[in-house]
Amino acid sequence: MTFRSSVEIITEWDIVAARQLGRDEAKALGFGTVDQARITTAISELARNIYLYASVGVIEVERVETDIEKKIVVIATDQGAGIKDVRKVMEDGYSTSGGLGAGLPGVNRLMDSMIIQSVVGEGTTIRAEKRLR
């Protein structure tokens, strides 16, 4: 079973809406307070990246419940400038040094896994998952 909802990120307040969506879904799936906070923070970082660097994009939250696993999938999509060097943005200390916050490596650690697809000039899709243990 998969439930999918999404929030469009245009203004800073949409970040709050995306957080709320993520927290509600995480709670509904049975995540504890700490993991709820982690998932919400990850969504917050991804939404902020859209707001600050791509100006428009979407955060989708999927709640996946099957016999073998329960997990939250967060998909952040934007039509921004794209990431030239994905390996570089995944290096620790690269984005945080400029005071931009946790950066993508931080998001990666908050979740279980993360995949980045980006085409320069077309945009970026980041898919991050966290399983309920």
Partner 1 sequence: MLKQLESQYEKILSDYMSDQTEKNLYIAQNFTRQLIQKNISPEDVVNIHKNAVGKIFPDRMVEDQPAYDFLIEVMVHYGMAHREHQSLLQIQAEYEMEMKIATNIQKTLLKTVVPQLSSIDIGMISIPIRKMNGDYVHFLYNREDYLSVAVTDVVGKGVPAALCMSMVKYGLETLEYAYKDPSYVLEVINRVIEKGVDDSMFVSMFYGCLDIQNSIFSYASAGHEPALHYSAKHGEFFSLEAKGLLLGVLSDSKYSYNEILLEDNDIVVMMTDGVTEFRARDDLNSREVITSLIVENKHVSAQHLCNLLYKQIEKIQDFKLSDDFTVVILKK
Task: Output the smallest distance, CB 28 to partner 1, in A.
Answer: 17
Minimum CB separation from partner 1 for residue 30, in Å? 16
Q: How far is the CB of 75 from partner 1 (least distance, A)?
A: 21
Q: Is 23 exposed, middle or buried (0-12, 13-18, 19+ CB in 10 A)?
A: middle
Give phi and psi for 122, each to the nearest 5.
Answer: -115, -35
Nearer to partner 1, 2 or 33 (CB): 33
For residue 60, CA distances in Å to 3, 93, 95, 122 come to: 10, 27, 24, 19
Q: Which amino acid is at 108?
A: N
Residues 102-121 that bind partner 1 (CB under 8 A): 102, 105-106, 109-110
Q: How far apart are CA 13 and CA 35, in angstroms?
A: 23
Among positions 75-104, residues that touch partner 1 (CB under 8 A) are: 92-93, 96, 102
Q: Tell the smallest beta-carbon distance from residue 71 to partner 1 (Å).
A: 19
- Enumerate residues 16-75 that contact partner 1 by CB under 8 A: 32-34, 37-38, 40-41
Q: 30 or 32: whose CB is closer to partner 1?
A: 32
Distance (Å, whole) CA 79 – CA 93: 25
Beta strands across the sheet bearing 123-131: 2-9, 57-65, 70-78, 123-131, 113-119
Binding site for partner 1 (CB under 8 A): 32-34, 37-38, 40-41, 92-93, 96, 102, 105-106, 109-110
